[in-house]
Chain A
Amino acid sequence: MKNLYRKGFYLLLCVFWAVLSYAQVTPTIQSRLNGTVLDAATGQPLPGAVVKIKGTTHTVSTGPDGRFTFVTGQKFPYTLIVSYIGYDQKEQVVDGTPVTIRLQEVQSQLTDVVVTGYSTQERKYIAGSISSVSGSVVQNQPSGGFNQLLQGKTTGVQVTSNSGVPGGGITFRVRGNNSINASVDPLYIIDGVFVSNADPISAGLGNQQASNPIADLNPSDIEDIQILKDANATAIYGSLGANGVIIVTTKRGKRNTKANINLNTFQGWSTAVKKFEVASGPEVALLTNESRINTAIDNGQDPSTVVLPFPNPQSLPTYDRISGLFRTAKSSNYEVSTQGGTDKSTYYVSLGYLGQESIVKPSDYKRYSARLNYDNYLSDKLKVGTSINFTRSERNLSGSDNNPTGVINSALFPRSHLPIYNTDGTYARYGSFDNHIALIENLDSKAVGWRTIGNIFGEYTFLPGLKIRSSWSIDNTSEYDNSYSSTLISAGIAVNGSASSIENKNLVLTNEQVLSFVKSFGEGKKHNINALVGNTLNTVLNESTSASGTGFAANSLRSVSVAATRSGSASRSESKLVSFFSKASYTYNGKYTIDGSIRADASSKFGTNNRWGYFPSGGVAWRLSQEEFIKNLNFFDELKVRASLGLSGNQNGIGAYAAQGLWSSGANYLEQPGIAPTQLANPDLTWETTRQFNVGAELGIFKNRLSIVADYYNKYTYDLLLNVPVPYRSGFASYLQNYGAVRNKGVELGINSTNIETDAFQWTTNFNISFNNNKIEKLASDISLGASGRNISILRQGYSSNSFQLYKQLYVDPQTGNAVYEDVNGDGLITSADRQIVGNALPKYTGGLTNNFNFKGFDLSFFFYFQQGNKIMNMNDFFMVHGGTQANIGFLPRQLERWQKPGDITDIPRLTTYSANPTQNGGAANNYGGNVASLSSRYLEDGSFIRLKTLTFGYTLPKDVLSRIGISKFRIYAQGTNLLTFTNYGGLDPEVSSQSNNQNTVGYDWATVPQPRTFQIGASVTF
């Protein structure tokens, strides 16, 4: 059946070429006119422009120097129609020879062009909600991924770095969490390629997402970024669009421009803003003794008979593990690029290197990137082009977070009076933890990724405004992870060394055809039509092969092939998507716009009963500023209101075979193959659908020096692809079905202001703020999860996703020192029924404030990011304020605030390990154990913060000085990142999410690398 597709493609090609050959016919007549066609902006000649005498079929093309000659029977004056691809067609009356005709480039003529789904439109006519960010905003920052750098830069997106590990995972949401089990990540489109955002690294890092796959794109290559937010903008992407669409356009050369070469570099130094603090050896001893005595009292023993574990607390030493963990981390960035264009082609070529160390040893990240963007105008009708990006990423991985043998865990949790080394000089280990120095010195876990994102396209223009584009895209990720645990780290001790080698391959192939039609007609070109129709075929193939071995003759031998015992595995999954789409937009007189789109999608993931989904949308826009009564006010330069409504869908994040009833193989016993049921069939499984309503207003005043964009949206996502928990007696834990609904509604406000604009001094301000309210409207039953089975996170109908459920500590009884919790059901007992939702990890609002100042050659900018209303579950406190119940874990200083004697007012209860009567409220058992088991709101903290994210100071050398030495631009700058943070959060850093490999366990801080403070200096030169 694939053959049919191939045939279809050949057919398409035939049509293509037939039309092409038909278009190239030229007749001849008598008489003479000489002329030149030039680019109006650059004055460069335009070769290959088509010149036609109006009212005849007589046509010639310009030569390499832009010159053309007519030999014709026509008499002067007559009208020439000159057209050139990428330029506006021009009619010019000629009355004698020679003549010079200047053409305006289409792009440069338009004031504000936005790349929307499959087309380009002028912002003023758009009815949807789209944010645009210039590429320069995300350049020269000490972070790998452009998506990470959009934090606080525009409305409607919420971005959090999950940890301070360079190249590590981030959380990126457009207008809130739409889903529970399907993906909530947006669709990323880079130069027309649908790129994968699946983390290809399979090494277990303690529930942390190891990488941000979008960091494979060098931000310096980016020209601009569009964020499609509402249904009107995203419905054209149908089942891929519900979580928003990020369209990235990379830099391309311009025709007829001289080559320029750009060199760019920065060097950075990062440090920890705050480091972990733990109780000293004597403090640990004091607390342990106290806990022992209190427990004896609780058990009815005479405290004087207790044998103290540390008879002399003051004599205990303190070993500092924390300082061995952190370092001043180096970042380096080098880039070289060139761009330009000839009369027939344009190019952009770049090479880049970024190297970044983590402030917590030993992780680091390196990225080598190369890009080639090339377009060729084969004729004035046919253009072909390509965008290719190659990236190699190298990561030294180290587990932290929820991983007892992780580096931070092994430094943070062991008791501080215990020595780091044994007396014989070997690494000392305690409890479940490894030795952090052993890990730092001996960890060997490397993840190397090769990423190719490429696209070739052909675009044929039948008539001005009517063209067909066919595009063939690939996003190929090959991730090769090798890890070796030597006998010097605990993972390798028992097995005499263990090694694993894993290759994950992820291939996304997309083919698309779009026929588009743009036309202005009528008197004064009052009527504008922008329409398109198209189709795509999309295939996603995931393959993985892994080998592992244990038992090595020596620590220097690290290849799986020489292990004593070896095993391997392989897996494969493939899914396909077929789509057809169309959209049309009509604008009358530059005032009224109405548009609509529809997409039909069919996915191989779904059951045969419900495979197709249809996603329509519509929008209207009214430019009041074009109305006379507004014009008469003489106040508004731009005033537009718009509204849209539509549907988009989601199928990402569920398995390729999610609808099928399956018995998995591999359930082996006695070296014989076994099979067992693993998944229930759901032939009715279908799309998760998001219905979104959006109203917005855009206005510009004071000669557009102040522009404001405001939006209100209401998104309702229904038929959620939900892993509904089923009774365990079924033999299954959950069943994927379309059930449940989530609503996100919010308000966004963006303000751009040019405060001062003189030749010598410019000051601009950008402010944005986004409010989002998330609520689960329908759910089969509560879903609780997170924190290694402690179920601290919960999804419950009527509450927002990412809620925390804990026992709410009301107070610590000043008389007994025992914690008292809210008895929710009032039965006088503390049981699991008394757990309640005490907050959630979603901020109420996020935003940013950027100010840029330019004075002569100097530039200064600062950028604040803020978020408010989110809670963080501080797992470090959870473990290290344990009241003595954890014999192998030390204490945080917060434990010293415990209740000690009647009358003490504190929120840290009396130390004890007493365990009887676990249901008694205000009983000793529930202080740190019992039914509450420390799942107490006392470890939940406010995560709001305001941060001076970047402060940059730069100087650009004067042009007249530079031009003498052949340099067109030279800028040097110094920059600080994360210089100031204002927060009440007690942990190291409020921007954290340690359990990020599951979207429903957000907001944990668990032995995670904090966000670093970075100083950098940089320079950029353009020749």
Chain B
Amino acid sequence: MKTSYSIKAILLAIVLLSSSCKKYLEEAPNNALPTETSITDASTARAAIIGTYDRLQGYYASSYPTLGTITTDNVIFNGTLSEYLQLDQNAIPTDNVITVSAYQGIYRTINSANSVITYVPLVNDPLLTVAEKNKILGEAYFIRALSYFDLARGWGGVQLQLKPTTDLSVLKGIKRSTLEQTYDQVLADLIQAEQLLPEDATTRNRAQKSTARALRARLHLYRKQWADAESYASQVINNTKYSLVKPYKSFFTAPFQTAESVLELAYSVNDRNSYWNLWYPSSSGGQFTLKPSDGLVAKLNNPAVGGTRNTLIAGSGTTVYGVLYNTTSTSTDPSYLIRIAELYLIRAEARAQQNKLTEAAADLNAIRARADVPATTATTQSALIQAIEDENAIEFAFEAHRWFDLVRTERAGAVLGITNKNFWLFPIPYSDVQSDPDVTQNPGY
């Protein structure tokens, strides 16, 4: 009798313990959401698009602008980290840290955007109005367009991921598309974005209708679709929300967000951008890895070329350094993605290519006048196109422009001496080549 009782008691204890074990072993983090319940209501939908902007900051804070500058004649390597030396020498190994981090960062952004595009339409929350839903979706389409555009101009045609990665099976069988297919995807997303996005008179740090149009103008320029480029550039230039600010330095002077900006990603003391650190000398607390070249310094200091754009540099002698990113004490420099000045130069180039030389010169001179530089002396089509190229180099000396301009105009050989066209594209990261059966490396790497 006694034993049967105790056996029953033991069995009961085991049953109780094993069921409680299951609960006892359930642990959940307090700083993350389960994937299944990530986007479920208005609040998480908003948080998800904010997270997508955060990812965009991830690659625009430092790596992408570096890829557009140190690779050219404007900026030279002055530090110790060999990944920057490799970029400066345009001898980029497949595991170059900067190209890998940009590539990875862009696809992280795309995965966030894909998640928003897929899950936000499914949210059924009265607090999420149709207008807000459209805004969120428009922003996601815009960010995805920008991300694929940034991939295409750096790496060529890439693998198009249009669904969020819920598990690894969604990756299977997606091969690299052509450059044209990638740009087509960018265009498709921009058309969506332009429809869905709102427009107001002040927002410059989130995507708006004009932002989508501005990127579209740039896309058409890259695709040599001059009339479209001109037309979309005009739509943005004609928006009174934007103007060329004077003096030149005011757009990169705190508190930022000037009328110059079509899109700038904002930072704060809680969300820092310490890109200045790569530009400033160690006596100012920086690393001084990125240094303006002697040639650029001479041009900026030439009143007929640089004009007031000489405010992009400071220091003297061998310690001349770039100050576009200058919030050394707060680390709050914006990432400058699209400025209205670019739209003028896009239109100038598009017009010049269409042989509308007077209008082209007018656009170019608008930029020169703002920098207190005399009007261009170029009169022929080819001279004007060259003048626009030179103007781009000065106007966007420390932004992600010159490298991509020289590659798109196929001038990287002539200007930078990189005659092997294979090196006009960055390599696909080493670890992707190892882990992805569907990817092919760019030729020459």
Contact = CB atoms under 8 A, between A and B. Distances in A.
Contacts of A733: 104
A789 B171 contact: no
Interface string A595-611: 00000001111000001
B97 to A, nearest CB: 3
Interface stretch (A313-321, A378-386, A855-863, A927-935): A927-935
Contacts of A668: 50, 54, 270-271
B44 interface: yes
A621 B34 CA distance: 51
B3 to A, nearest CB: 15
Interface in A707-764: 724-733, 735
A832 B445 contact: yes
Contact of A431 (B26, B57, B288, B427): B288
A934 B80 CA distance: 13
Contacts of A626: none
B90 A915 contact: yes
B20 interface: yes
B41 interface: no
Contacts of B165: 677, 680, 730-732
A13 interface: no
Interface in A1-53: 1-2, 4-5, 8, 11
20 contacts: A5-B24, A413-B80, A429-B283, A491-B285, A576-B25, A602-B21, A604-B25, A663-B38, A665-B32, A670-B205, A673-B47, A674-B48, A674-B53, A675-B33, A676-B112, A677-B164, A679-B32, A727-B159, A731-B165, A784-B430
Interface string B100-132: 100110011011101100000000000000000
A504 to B, nearest CB: 16
Given A674-B54, A729-B171, A832-B445, A657 B23 contact: no
Contacts of A1: 20, 23-24
A258 to B, nearest CB: 48
Interface string A676-692: 11111100000000000
A788 B81 contact: yes
Contact of B79 (A578, A726, A888): A888
Given A656-B27, A730-B107, A675 B93 contact: no
B168 A576 contact: no
A490 B108 CA distance: 33
B38 A677 contact: yes
A655 to B, nearest CB: 9
Interface stretch (B224-232, B395-403, B432-440): B432-440
B83 interface: yes
Contacts of A671: 268, 270-271
B282 A680 contact: no
Given A730-B165, A731-B111, A929-B91, 9 more contacts: A413-B80, A429-B283, A433-B282, A490-B285, A494-B329, A676-B108, A677-B115, A790-B97, A933-B91
Interface stretch (A138-146, A190-198, A879-887): A879-887
B266 interface: yes
A662 B31 CA distance: 10
B415 to A, nearest CB: 15
A631 to B, nearest CB: 48
Interface in B53-83: 53-55, 57, 78-83
**Interface core residue of B13, B50, B96, B280 (most chain A CB under 10 Å):** B50
Contacts of B78: 431, 887-888
A675 B54 CA distance: 9
Contact of A727 (B90, B93, B282, B436): B436
Contacts of B269: 565, 567
A796 B251 CA distance: 50
A532 B275 CA distance: 62
A728 B35 contact: no
A429 B288 CA distance: 11
A419 to B, nearest CB: 13
A931 B47 CA distance: 42
Contacts of A661: 34-36, 166
Given A493-B283, A663-B33, A565 B53 contact: no
A4 B53 contact: no
Contacts of B96: 789
Given A1-B23, A668-B270, A832 B51 contact: no
A550 B78 CA distance: 27
A963 interface: no
A575 B24 contact: no
Contacts of B7: none
Given A4-B17, A8-B17, A725-B435, A677 B54 contact: no
A492 B328 CA distance: 11
A69 B393 CA distance: 108
A629 interface: no
A664 B83 CA distance: 29
Contact of A934 (B26, B28, B82, B168): B82
Given A432-B282, A656-B27, A790-B82, A578 B21 contact: yes
Contacts of A492: 285
B286 interface: yes
A670 B266 contact: yes
Given A663-B33, A672-B50, A675-B44, A431 B80 contact: yes
Contact of B16 (A4, A550, A725): A4
Given A429-B282, A788-B81, A730 B111 contact: yes
Nearest to A926: B91
B208 interface: no
Contact of B32 (A430, A550, A662, A784): A662
A781 interface: yes
A804 B96 CA distance: 17
A2 B168 contact: no
B14 to A, nearest CB: 10
Given A676-B112, A677-B115, A678-B32, A789 B97 contact: yes
A677 B35 contact: yes
Interface in A107-163: none
A916 interface: yes
Contact of B25 (A490, A611, A784): A611
B198 interface: no
Q: Which 3 residue pairs across A and B have the least CB separation, nearest first? A: A731-B111, A494-B285, A661-B35
B31 A4 contact: no
B431 interface: yes
A814 B46 CA distance: 66
B85 interface: yes
B32 A657 contact: yes
A665 B281 CA distance: 35
B317 interface: no
Contact of B289 (A429, A432, A781, A788): A432
A1004 to B, nearest CB: 15
A661 B276 CA distance: 35
Contacts of B20: 1, 4-5
Contacts of A672: 46-47, 50
A679 B32 CA distance: 10
Contacts of B376: none
A657 B27 contact: yes
A433 B277 CA distance: 13
Interface string A766-793: 0000000000000011111000111100
Interface in B263-305: 265-266, 268-271, 276-277, 280-289
Interface string B181-216: 000000000000000000000000110000000000
Contacts of B31: 571-572, 664-666
Contacts of A790: 82, 95, 97
Nearest to B151: A729
A662 B115 CA distance: 13
B253 interface: no
Contacts of A503: none
A642 B177 CA distance: 62
A662 B27 contact: no
B79 A604 contact: no
